[in-house]
Amino acid sequence: MIGLLPMITTYLAGSAAAIALPGDRGRRVAQALAGAGALLGLATALSVIGSGKAAVFDLPSSVPALGLAFRLDALGAFFLALIGLVAVPAAIYADAYTKEEAPPSGTPGKAAPRSGRLAGATLNLFLLAMSLVVSAANVLAFLFAWEAMSLASYLLVVGDGEKAESVSAGRWYAGMAHAGFGLIAAAFFLLAARAGGDGFETIRSLSSSPGPALRNVVFLLALLGFGSKAGIVPLHVWLPRAHPAAPSHVSALMSGAMLPIGVYGLLRVGLDLLGGGPPWWGGVVLALGAVSALKGVLYALTEQDLKRLLAYSSIENLGIVFMGIGIGFVFHGHGRADLAAVALAAGLYHALNHAAFKGLLFLGSGAVLKATGTRNLEEMGGLIKRMPQTAACFLVGAAAIAALPPLNGFASEWLLLQVFMAGASLPEGLTAALMALAVGTLALAGGLAAACFVKAFGIPFLALPRSRAAEEAREVAGSMRFAMIALAAACALLGLAPSVVMSFLARVLGGMPGVDAGGALFRPGSVLEAPQGSSRIAPPLLALCLIVVIAALVVGLRLLGVRGRTRLVETWGCGRTVQTSRMEITSMAFAEPLRRVFAGLYRPTKDLTIGFHPESKYFVRSITYRSRIRSWFEEDLYRSFYDLLRPLAASGRLIQSGSVHLYLAYIVAALLIFLLLGRWL
Amino acid sequence: MVSFLVEPLQVALTLLLAPGLVGLVRLLKARLQGRRGAPVRQPYRELVKLFGKERVVSRNASWIFHATPFVVLGTTLVVALLVPLLAAPLPLDGVGDLVVVAYLLLLGTFFLALAGLDPGSAFGGMGASREMTIAALAEPTLALAIFALAVGAGSTNLGRIVARTLSDPVETLGPGHVMAFAALAIVMIAECGRLPVDNPATHLELTMIHEAMLLEYSGPHLALLEWAGHMKFFLFLALISNLAFPWGVAVRPGPVALAIAVLALAVKVVLLAVGLAFLETQVAKLRLFRVPELLAVSFLLALLAVTTSFLVR
Amino acid sequence: MSADLYTRLATLASSLVLLSGIAILWRHSLQAYIASFARQSLLFVMAILIVAVGEKDPRLYGMALMVFALKVVFIPRVLRRVQRHVGAEMEIHPYVNTPVSLALAGVLTLLAYAVAQPVVALSEAPTRGGIPLALAVVFVGLLILVSRRSALTQIVGFLVLENGIALLAVLVTSGVPLIVELGVFLDVLLGFLVMQVFVSRIRETFDTIDVDRLRGLRH
């Protein structure tokens, strides 16, 4: 048993080192310590899951007033492991990635190391805060760590505050994070007030006593609060702004590790502390997840910015995770402990897989960004020849996220499909029909994701370079490639060994009330089994079949004497002589058919300008076509919300004067009011 | 002992019969249209001819372009291992179910689309874009059709679906069953690039979908991809006929049962092929942007199949 | 005919009636609408025949014959004549486009299942599996009425609606008393003839049968 202390001290040491050590050394040591801390966290998490004993960490008794308690149980350990899975490669990657990332203009040299050191310190704090959120054992500790996590990630997004894009993204992020924090705090305070104590243990023991109305309110508050962190539609607005603005290893961490913490919170509050609820809770979660999955992938498809594309795809994947958790809550509400276990396991399995492939893809996009200096897909192309290893890793990630067998994305989506099919056995006829819609949604999201990632791999890596920068791209440093290869291997292993993952998940979910994890999840051998054993697949055998068949094909053709000389020529082009990259299909054109099919949802604006020759209308000089898609739904939603809020804010300005004395007077007045309230209530 | 020979036999049958089936459909269509048409063996000759030619490869292409024919043919052959063509359940029954079959085909499509983008030709990119559009929209229909079949059998396992239909012959007339297969048939038309979604005979650049991606391929590579396309068509027809009407499939594989199974499969597939030839002679190709409407119809069919099978249950 | 087979065939026929109604939402030409309606009526006749065999009720044969004469032969013929008279028009811009119409049809079918569930649960009729489908046919008829512009399509929608009601009646009671059915037929016939005249008048006035133009009458 390692306990939490080594991990915490390593992270703290990392932060301290970043500030204390001079020059570039601070940054490098801090990143190395972040990796070491993440590794320790991973080890702790695995030992907690393996032994079934929680790791406890109490603050020294000399600071009792803080009242923070930490206890890492199996559920928290799963998410700690997930953080470790992304954080270790990300820390390795960060070393070369953040080197000389100084702005080319202005004052090079001086500014860069300082911001690099600061980022190193914040990275450690961010990882520490995430780890503490999942090991918090009382409300105060949870909220404290949660806020620290939001602040640290805010600082990482904003960076040195020099880019307008980052600052604007940070503003959105801070706003949404705090709104979410308020909702979560409200949910927790309602529970704690009812239980008469803020320890999770106390709340849990009273979990059945609060009335249904209060339970519903707490659940909905928690759903909104945690949903905003997980990027669930319509609370996802910060996500496509914040992810691209952050450095790529931080994007990987935010997407792979931080978004699932929203899922953790929902499970902790909804299932662990409240002990589950009526089926409609699950229905709401399922519906939100389905909408997020579709909306995320549809916007990912039309995106031209590689990192924004990945950010939208995170919305899709978290939507899929929510669908699994939601159907789990439905089963739980119906008292089907065995089905609930498989459904929740499917959701968590997908969260784990998402951490692996989205971490990989963000690191890959960072490598491309580092090599070409752009995130715009239309300026890339042909990178597979210039960056072969990055390309191979990115291809693995793209295939995994498109749920192609035998990689990991397929395993979890298969299980989720099976869970929905099992949902047809629920007594209500309409539930069964809704299961059909869920299956359709999941499959449509999967198909669109495949189209999206054909684009996300094909446009930047294949064909001819579309810009000079892409032409001059070089493969990135060895440590960055190592991190990507490690995550690519994780994608393959998580897909090929589903029984190992499931036996872990059986332990993780074992402690949940009303979830029969042991009986439903564990299967010997390397098979993945549908609920109630209705169907099974064996991914390793499937992979073996594929490899054997393809090898047999290659050998068979050789033996049959099919050699065929290979002659290299220009691409055929209807008789024109030179091929340039301008003749290739663009990222936007690739998505055009689907844009037209879903035009009702995108509501694109079109703007066509044709410049005619002054002499005759029959000669066209130039054609400019501009089409833009905006996320009209949220813009309208937030606009109306903002319009509602502005008068209030304006009236709030009355009390602002800038005078220090007046502010002090406010504090005194507030103090007096609270004292009086405390006296009377 | 015999049971282990079933799967190699299935693969061999698929490899050998698929081009013949395509030749048969072409011949039937030609006759229906008043042409003489090429003989059934023509696709075999084309394959042999292509295998003997040199590869003409674009300078821009990467290893993806060279790997794709093997991946596409490989996934198709693995599907031939999993689908109950002659016997049910197969020895490899536990390796993959109907969902795996669907996603294996998607794996092939994924690589084919990448290979279409690889040489940087405008046509290849356009074909890839269209192919992925149709594949993405066909996916929910396929999943729902699988769901409808699974609800009846209580499983997505291919062996169990076949066994269930064999045990309850009246079920083949149930609305869930009929509509699920109508939906599957539309998916087959979309996935295999048949009329009215795509014209398999066209070489007019602006109308083609599947062919546009293969435009840069030549020689043995092209032969592999053509062969894989024939096999996909054969497997889809065989899958539909054996799931819809599984009689003839060997339950206990022995030499006689297998011989009967081969014969039954041939009869069923040829019947479906005749029907398809009639259909393709009747209809004209749809505009690309009406294809989603066709797939919406098929989605609706599958949805109805699922809901009716609940109520009749 | 075994009871199991009877149930399945009746449900199958009902779902085919529904599908031929949905086909109208998918097609674009008025000619296809009329053909679809004739096909739907034919399938309805088949449904009646299946119930007739299943229930061994000879009166239903008579009803099937009547429906055949009226809805498969007579009404489509008149409709075709009207359509030729007004010229081969297409339903070009329906208020709701095709994919959305189809999606709505799916939702309406689910709704029909939800609404019909108590009825199905109470019913003992072997044909009860088709009840929600018949209800869905009614909904689809309404959808056609609401979402399409041409007056001729509106008539087809109305007729589909009527087919749904008649199918519902046949399935719920396993056969309708002949006198009730006769009344309904006369109603339909009368309504149909009135509408036909109506269409001719619209065309003479506006030179098109787009009912949207009727808005112009307000001014």
Is B299's CB within 8 Å of C106's CB? yes
Decide if C15 and B312 are in contact by the 8 Å CB cutoff.
no
Residue of C nearest to A432 (CA): C110
Note the pLDDT of residue A181.
94
Nearest to A424 among B54, B113, B151 (CB): B151
> What is the arithmetic mean of pLDDT over B256-261?
90
CB neighbour list of residue A637: distance below 8 Å, 6 or more residues apart: A234
* pTM for the structure as a whole: 0.90
ipTM: 0.95
Token code pair at residue A140: 């105060």
Q: Rounded mean pLDDT of C187-212?
A: 68
Residue B271 near residue B21 (C-beta atoms within 8 A): no
* Nearest of A318, A304, A203, A208 to residue A255 by alpha carbon: A318
pLDDT at residue A61 tops 60: no
pLDDT at A40 over 90: yes
- Which stretches of A532-643 are assigned E, i.e. beta strand? 536-537, 566-569, 605-612, 620-628
Q: Which residue has the tokens 């499917």?
A: A346
Structure tokens, B61? 């292409």
Residue-wise pLDDT for A119-142, tens only, equals 888 999 999 999 999 999 889 889
Q: CB-CB: which of B55, B136, B151 is closest to A567?
A: B55
Return the residue of C nearest to B171 by Cα.
C8
| Least confident span in A95-109, A319-333, A363-377, A420-434 | A95-109
Residue C91 in this model has a pLDDT that exceeds 70: no
In chain B, what residues touch A545 (CB-CB under 8 Å)?
Answer: 78, 81, 92, 95
Confidence band for C177, pLDDT divided at 50, 70 and 90:
low
In this structure, are residues A313 and A236 in contact, taking their beta carbons and an 8 Å threshold?
no
Residue B128's pLDDT is: 93
- Residue B306 in this model has a pLDDT that exceeds 80: yes
The span from the CA of A247 to the CA of C206, in Å, is 66
What is the DSSP secondary structure assignment for residue A79, as one 8-state letter? H
Q: In A, which residues are within 8 Å of C110 by CB distance?
A: 430, 433
For residue A523, what are the contacts with CB-CB under 8 A and spacing of at least 6? A499, A502, A529, A536
Tokens of C189: 């016939």
Interchain contact, C110 vs A429, CB within 8 Å: no
Chain centroid, CA B95 distance in Å: 20
Interface test with B, best of A545, A576, A598 (most B CBs within 10 A): A545
Nearest neighbour of C129 by CB, restricted to B299, B304, B312: B312
Average pLDDT of the segment spanning B144-165: 87
Residue A530 has pLDDT above 90, yes or no: no
**pLDDT class of A522 with cuts at 50, 70, 90:** low
Tell me whether B110 touches chain C (CB under 8 Å): no
Measured in whole angstroms, the distance separating CA B286 from the mean position of its chain's CA atoms is 20
Q: Which residues of A touch C133 (CB under 8 A)?
A: none
What is residue A297's three-state secondary structure? Answer: helix
A447 vs B: CB within 8 A:
yes
Q: Examine the pLDDT at C216 and tell me if it is beyond 90.
A: no
User: Residue B202 corresponds to which amino acid?
Assistant: T
If 0-12 CB within 10 Å is exposed, 13-18 middle and 19+ buried, where does residue A675 land?
Answer: exposed
Q: Mean of the per-residue pLDDT values for chain A? A: 86
The predicted structure's pLDDT at residue C128: 78
pLDDT at C183: 67
State the SS3 of A183-227. Answer: HHHHHHHHHHHHHCCCEHHHHHHCCCCCCHHHHHHHHHHHHHHHH
Q: For residue A42, is pLDDT > 60? A: yes
Which A positions 599-618 lie with beta carbon below 8 A of chain C?
600
Give me the residue from C2, C15, C102 closest to B175, CB to CB: C15
- Closest CA–CA distance from residue C31 to any residue of chain A (Å): 27
Pairing of the two strands B55-58 and A55-58? unpaired
Query: Is A451 part of the contact surface with chain B (CB cutoff 8 Å)?
Result: yes
C8 touches chain B (CB under 8 A): yes
From residue C53, give the alpha-carbon distance in Å to each of A265, A267, B178, C3, C177.
Answer: 61, 57, 22, 11, 16
- Check whether B285 has a pLDDT greater than 50: yes
Count other Cβ atoms within 10 Å, centred on residue C141.
Answer: 22
Q: Name which residue leads in pLDDT, B267 or A634.
A: B267
pLDDT at A103 over 60: no
Examine the pLDDT at B143 and tell me if it is beyond 60: yes
Which band of pLDDT confidence, cut at 50, 70 and 90, is reported for residue C182? low
The residue of chain B nearest to residue C1, with distances taken between CA atoms, is: B170
Chain B CB within 8 Å of residue C121 CB: no
Residues in chain A closer than 8 A to C113 (CB atoms): 429-430, 433
Residue C19 at interface with chain B, using a CB cutoff of 8 Å:
yes
Report residue B247's pLDDT band, with 50, 70 and 90 as the boundaries.
confident
How does pLDDT run across A473-490, given as a tens digit for each residue?
899 989 999 999 999 999
Looking at this protein, which amino acid is placed at residue A119? A
